[in-house]
Amino acid sequence: MLKLEEKELKQLAEAKKILTSLIEKLESELELLRACVSIVDEALIKKSFTTAEKLIEREEVKEEVVEPEWRELPPITYRVGKSEVTLAKVYARERELRIIPKIKFSINTPPFESFLIKRVLEKMRQKDEELALPPNKMINYEVKLEGDAIKELVIRNIIGEDRFVSIRNAAKWTFARMYEKLLR
């Protein structure tokens, strides 16, 4: 009878080993799939913006331009366990981005001001000043508030697709850190 229990214990231990290995393999595959989705998202963002050549052509033509519609981009999300929380909606048109938080974030919650505003947007503005761009061509931003809650962040005069991607990635990182502070 003791040998039967020992055999059963060995089988259970072996089953656990196999299941653990399978879980690790599936988690690895899931991580790879998430990375692939992220790459596709970035490619979609890059492909959806107007090229610099088209912008220059439009400026040279100087015809009456009707404001283009905002295009919705993939939202800024945060993964909690198996679910995903939408932190902000993101919209774009030509040289502008709108980021509208879906969670009540205070403007005073780090790293909004210290990172996103000062280290990302203000640095881009300084680079534009160094390039001696006219004020109407320099990157600028507006933080719309409701009390101290961020209602909307609008960034204008974004030059180049790389800046769109940088700003979106910085906003994603910033809002994720802010959300983590809310969870505490």
What is the tens place of the pLDDT at every residue in 21-47? 778 877 777 777 776 666 766 666 666
With contact defined as beta carbons under 8 Å apart, do 94 and 50 qualify?
Answer: yes
Q: Dihedral of CA 172/173/174/179: which sign? A: positive
Candidates 144, 138, 174; CA nearest to 156 is 138
pLDDT above 70 covers a percentage of the chain that reads 81
pTM over 0.75: no
Domain boundaries, the chain: 1-47, 62-183
